[in-house]
Structure 1
Amino acid sequence: MSGQLREAIILAVLVPDLFAVLVLFAFVSGVYAAGLKCRLQTDDKRRAILKELGILGAITDKTFVGLFHPYCNAGGGGERVLWAAVEHFQKTAPNIVSVVYTGDTDASKEDIVDKVKARFGISLRSDTLHLAYLKSRHLVEDKAWPRFTLLGQSLGSMVLGYEAMKQLIPDVYIDTMGYAFTFHVVRAIAPSSTPIGAYVHYPTISTDMLNRVRDRKAGHTNTGGVARSSLLSSGKLLYYHIFAWLYSASLNRADVLMANSTWTKSHVDSLLKSSQNTPFSSTLVKTAKIVYPPCDTHGLENFLLEGRQRVIMSLAQFRPEKEHATQLYAMRDLLEMNPEYRNGANEVKLVLLGSSRNDEDAARVESLRQLAKKLGVNESVEFVVNAPWKEVQGWLSRSSIGFSTMIDEHFGINVVEFLAAGLIPVVHASAGPFLDIVVPYQGQPTGFHAKDASEFARKLDEALMLSPSSQLSMRKRGRALASEKFSTEQFVKGWDESWRELDALRSRRR
């Protein structure tokens, strides 16, 4: 072999490797430089925040807790968790400054505080609350990623996480919305003493989603076109397996994990186990701790349990996974079974209450209105969109049945509100409502479960046909269960235990 040929072969082998090394070096150097710049600016940014809040004293006297929640103004159950945590900090830890990373750039802090009061009855002070506005939230919207949505949104969240760190590197970082991929960004930029916590409302991917694709079942996360194709199903299953590993590696970057239900904990623990002994995990076997989300059970317990109207009430954000269409189909089947429910003394009405976050949600509401007309139930269905909490409470105080049809609802704070307010719940037989909420109390049922529209219709009819004494007994059992298991006090207790663990980690690492 000639010397020139040998040199050509050597170059052909080494140049790509050298190029890859240079690219990797440039990337690592860029991350390091970005992190260094953020860290060097941290003290000045903290002083600016304290000045804006009117707080005197040194920045070392304060603990800055970063709460990552890009949709903090959405008004759902996840937002109640966020604001209940902030309220708890304000009541018990005057040295804590809560920094909420939010993409709600169209709302001022005063607007958000007012909405939290109106929607949840939670009173916040502005003097220890800072909102760090993020401009890249569109990168975690569904519409930004029509294909490979899970991966796209997760990568988008990393950009959003970097923007958050540019705003301020906190002493403790807590994700309260489910963006685990941001943990890599925090680990890369924040000091090693910064502990990471997470409150997981639902895993981004779960074994249930994998099984649905494997079994080729159509649903919200698996379109009919994919379900009907063996090739597409195989490709999607491979994609899901790869993403599940990436997600589990991200979860393992957190120091403390809270889960909102038995179902969520089970899936999170399974994911954590799958990525143990990787470069992203610690040597310790991590598990999530169940911390049930807060429900204003006390505020709902004063409603009378007797004299309820024949109203079936749904309370859920108008998102596709909430399966509102199933409720309309169930209502059609119920009215076909019992035509007398359409009017007169036995009239039954379905009321769908929920928040609409954006144009996509608004369009979804309109399509549901059209579906109600198509099914011939529009006269028996009412939509109540973006109602203030007082109005929601009014419906809770007079409705008879609480209706929830979401499959694999991670928790179901709306179902807890049904129980506390004295409604008889009819819910999907899966996940949180099935395993944690609508469970027997003192050996007796607290509600009904179903899996499809026709079964829901039958269970709704059973609930409506209960004798007054049986209805009253079931309402009492449900209220007692909600009060003992899901009160704000119980949430605060669990949150505080996790917070103390995070704070102790920070102290040890400093």
Structure 2
Amino acid sequence: MASLASPAFGLLWPIILQSLLLLPFFWIFLRVYSWHLRSSNYGRRSVMLAELGYSSKDRKRVIGFFHPYCNAGGGGERVLWTAIAAMQRTNPDAISAVYSGDTDATKAEIMSKVKARFDISLDPKLIHLVFLKSRWLVEDSTWPRFTLFGQSLGSMYLAWEAMSKLIPDLYIDTMGYAFTFHVVSQLGQIPIGAYVHYPTISSNMLERVKSRKTGHTNSGAISSSLILSHLKLLYYRFFMHHYVLSLRTASFIMVNSSWTKGHIDSILQHSDILMNAIHLLPPLLAIKFFSSDHAPARARIVYPPCDTREMSLFALIPRSRTILSVAQFRPEKDHRAQLNIFHRLLELHPEYTQDAEEPVRLVLVGGSRNEGDAQRILELRGLAKELGIDAYVDFIVNASYPAVLDWLSKASIGLSTMVDEHFGINVVEFLAAGVIPVAHASGGPLKDIIVPFNGERTGFHASTLDEFAEAIHTVLSLSPEAEQAMRLRARTWAVQRFSEEEFERGWNESGWRSWVSQ
């Protein structure tokens, strides 16, 4: 064993001493800079109030929502805007400040899209958009390697930009950027809350790398190499350690499903002996020193909202022979699998296209956020043509809310293929609309959504191409009586469990009011 007088320690001691000596100076700088930001925030706050038509004397609380993609039009955005609408009704003295990277749109355009996409009406006098210019730092394309680490560092810079423009009374992250908590805590010195759709890293991801399984987060090049797998596992363990520190900074945490709750609660209790030991050494010791390492109360499930009221008015039958997918064209949604499932269905049951009065069709409805999504759609069109099913496949990109409702009102089957979908608001929409869902047997669709109601089926789960194809065939083969009964059960369950009213009740009971009043 090396002694304190060994050459290795001789080289290490200067670094340790320098780090320890610099730590107080860095702490003083951080405190002074934080005081400067908070002092100058009064002026920025007065400007914001004036823009909204208020005076600085008006007693207004400001709730900050960190959601850089607030104009994306997905399920996460429905949560954001429904929460804000609920707060406007119950707390009219609270102004919602949304930190957005959508600099290509105006506030009026964003509000208009919220109304068109989600049918949510908002009072613009109670909303302030804080536009951030550095959103590119959290884009996947910016970090082709070490993506999780790069995006997390980028989010911290984005949080600094946010705090330098406006410090709210309460900060709520609604997109999953937990690493911003350190910046907000140190600079803003305000309470922090979170609505977690999906853990940034989970024990599943570590296990996938450890067992060398190929997947969306573990490429074949890494899974096939023992050395690369060990290095990635070490990287994931390091990242997990810091993710735990980030989550523990929050005063309260809401999650969207029992699957997410299980992972978040597990993460909050996570302890890695090796990482704890490594972080006792400078300069990593400084990170732990500046972290608010306290475990909050266990995560509270607040199911995402679904507009069940309008969807529950749709006629249950008759329905067209349409298989409907409603999901943003993101890689994890696995639209390629949907095309392959449809191809397999037609292979096993060619009668659905041959001499059929009404051929079965696959309709992919989804939002395209950026060039990456647009390129993915082109590739999917190419795959449909390659599989010879393009004549029976439709792509509906960036559809308006009325258009989405129209498809939900006439489709027979709802298809969802994402593995470990954290919740699956699209699956809830299928249920509410009377569309029988066929979803991957994992995550929210398995544990929370497609569950028996009064002891009978509300939909189907599947894992393989053949299982999906056969489940779809089963739905298409139901008798009119059995079909209507299943659609009614699915709708009744969705309306009871996943309505906007249930979400608002859960949101208001989360405890956010107690933190903003401090």
Regarding TM over 0.5, the answer is yes
Are 2:498 and 1:483 equivalent residues in the alignment? no
Structure-2 change in CA distance of 1:30 and 1:367 (3 Å): farther
Structure-2 change in CA distance of 1:342 and 1:53 (3 Å): same
Instruction: Check conservation: 2:46, 2:55, Cα contact below 8 A.
Output: no
Structure-2 change in CA distance of 1:245 and 1:487 (3 Å): same
Q: Which of 218, 222, 225 does residue 229 from structure 1 map onto?
A: 225
Q: Could you say what secondary structure the match of 2:195 adopts?
A: strand
Give the match for residue 45 of structure 2: 46
TM-score by length of 1: 0.94
Alignment of 1:227-306 (within 5 A): 227-274=223-270, 280=291, 286-306=297-317
Give the match for residue 78 of structure 1: 76
Instruction: Quote how far apart the aligned CAs of 1:18 are.
Output: 4.2
Instruction: Check conservation: 1:353, 1:385, Cα contact below 8 A.
Output: yes
Q: Which of 72, 89, 92 does residue 90 from structure 2 map onto?
A: 92
Deviations 1:192-249 (A, max 9, x none): xx21110000000112212221222211111111111122112111211111111111
Instruction: Check conservation: 2:63, 2:95, Cα contact below 8 A.
Output: yes
Identity %: 53
Query: In 2, Cα distance between the equivalents of 1:206 and 1:468?
Result: 43
Query: In 1, Cα distance between the equivalents of 2:213 and 2:474?
Result: 29
Instruction: Quote how far apart the aligned CAs of 1:34 are.
Output: 2.7
Are 2:94 and 1:111 equivalent residues in the alignment? no
Instruction: Quote how far apart the aligned CAs of 1:307 are.
Output: 0.8
Give the match for residue 31 of structure 1: 30
Query: In 2, Cα distance between the equivalents of 1:161 and 1:86?
Result: 20
* Letter in structure 1 aligned against 2:243: Y
Are 2:316 and 1:317 equivalent residues in the alignment? no
Query: In 1, Cα distance between the equivalents of 2:117 and 2:420?
Result: 25
Instruction: Quote how far apart the aligned CAs of 1:21 are.
Output: 3.5
TM-score by length of 2: 0.92
Give the match for residue 393 of structure 2: 381
Instruction: Quote how far apart the aligned CAs of 1:25 are.
Output: 4.3
Query: In 2, Cα distance between the equivalents of 1:450 and 1:313?
Result: 16
Q: Could you say what secondary structure the match of 2:62 adopts?
A: strand
Q: Could you say what secondary structure the match of 2:130 adopts?
A: strand
Give the match for residue 3 of structure 1: none
Are 2:337 and 1:339 equivalent residues in the alignment? no
Q: Which of 213, 216, 220 does residue 212 from structure 2 map onto?
A: 216
Query: In 2, Cα distance between the equivalents of 1:23 and 1:449?
Result: 57
Give the match for residue 407 of structure 1: 419
Q: Could you say what secondary structure the match of 2:125 adopts?
A: coil
Instruction: Quote how far apart the aligned CAs of 1:132 are.
Output: 0.3
Instruction: Quote how far apart the aligned CAs of 1:502 are.
Output: 2.9
Deviations 1:151-186 (A, max 9, x none): 111111000111110111110110011000011011
Instruction: Check conservation: 1:273, 1:285, Cα contact below 8 A.
Output: no
* Letter in structure 1 aligned against 2:327: A
Instruction: Check conservation: 1:65, 1:97, Cα contact below 8 A.
Output: yes
Query: In 2, Cα distance between the equivalents of 1:332 and 1:456?
Result: 11
Deviations 1:471-494 (A, max 9, x none): 111100000010000000000000
Give the match for residue 199 of structure 2: 203
Q: Could you say what secondary structure the match of 2:483 adopts?
A: helix
Q: Could you say what secondary structure the match of 1:127 adopts?
A: helix
Give the match for residue 383 of structure 2: 371
Give the match for residue 146 of structure 2: 148
Instruction: Check conservation: 1:326, 1:452, Cα contact below 8 A.
Output: no
Q: Which of 313, 318, 328 does residue 339 from structure 2 map onto?
A: 328
* Letter in structure 1 aligned against 2:177: Y
Instruction: Check conservation: 2:46, 2:56, Cα contact below 8 A.
Output: no
Deviations 1:349-397 (A, max 9, x none): 0000000000000000000000111111111111000000000000000
Are 2:367 and 1:355 equivalent residues in the alignment? yes
Query: In 2, Cα distance between the equivalents of 1:10 and 1:467?
Result: 78
Instruction: Check conservation: 2:65, 2:97, Cα contact below 8 A.
Output: yes
Q: Could you say what secondary structure the match of 2:364 adopts?
A: strand
Query: In 2, Cα distance between the equivalents of 1:489 and 1:506?
Result: 22
Instruction: Check conservation: 1:252, 1:275, Cα contact below 8 A.
Output: no
Deviations 1:256-295 (A, max 9, x none): 0000000000000000111599764565563100000000
Structure-2 change in CA distance of 1:468 and 1:294 (3 Å): same
Instruction: Quote how far apart the aligned CAs of 1:22 are.
Output: 4.8
Query: In 2, Cα distance between the equivalents of 1:202 and 1:23?
Result: 37
Q: Could you say what secondary structure the match of 1:362 adopts?
A: helix
* Letter in structure 2 aligned against 1:252: R
Question: Mean alpha-carbon deviation: is it higher for 244-253 or for 213-222?
Answer: 213-222
Deviations 1:278-337 (A, max 9, x none): 764565563100000000000101100001000000000000000100000001110011
Instruction: Quote how far apart the aligned CAs of 1:38 are.
Output: 1.1
Query: In 1, Cα distance between the equivalents of 2:63 and 2:246?
Result: 20
Give the match for residue 513 of structure 2: 503
Query: In 2, Cα distance between the equivalents of 1:156 and 1:57?
Result: 33
Question: Mean alpha-carbon deviation: is it higher for 406-415 or for 87-96?
Answer: 87-96
Structure-2 change in CA distance of 1:89 and 1:231 (3 Å): same
Instruction: Check conservation: 2:248, 2:294, Cα contact below 8 A.
Output: no
Query: In 1, Cα distance between the equivalents of 2:412 and 2:97?
Result: 40
Deviations 1:46-67 (A, max 9, x none): 11001001123515x1100000
CA RMSD of aligned residues (A): 2.0
Query: In 2, Cα distance between the equivalents of 1:11 and 1:229?
Result: 36
Q: Could you say what secondary structure the match of 1:94 adopts?
A: coil
* Letter in structure 1 aligned against 2:62: F
Long gaps (5+) in structure 1? 1-5
Instruction: Quote how far apart the aligned CAs of 1:455 are.
Output: 1.6
* Letter in structure 1 aligned against 2:130: A
Query: In 1, Cα distance between the equivalents of 2:344 and 2:475?
Result: 15
Query: In 2, Cα distance between the equivalents of 1:282 and 1:24?
Result: 18
Query: In 2, Cα distance between the equivalents of 1:172 and 1:378?
Result: 50
* Letter in structure 1 aligned against 2:83: A
Are 2:78 and 1:67 equivalent residues in the alignment? no
Are 2:200 and 1:189 equivalent residues in the alignment? no
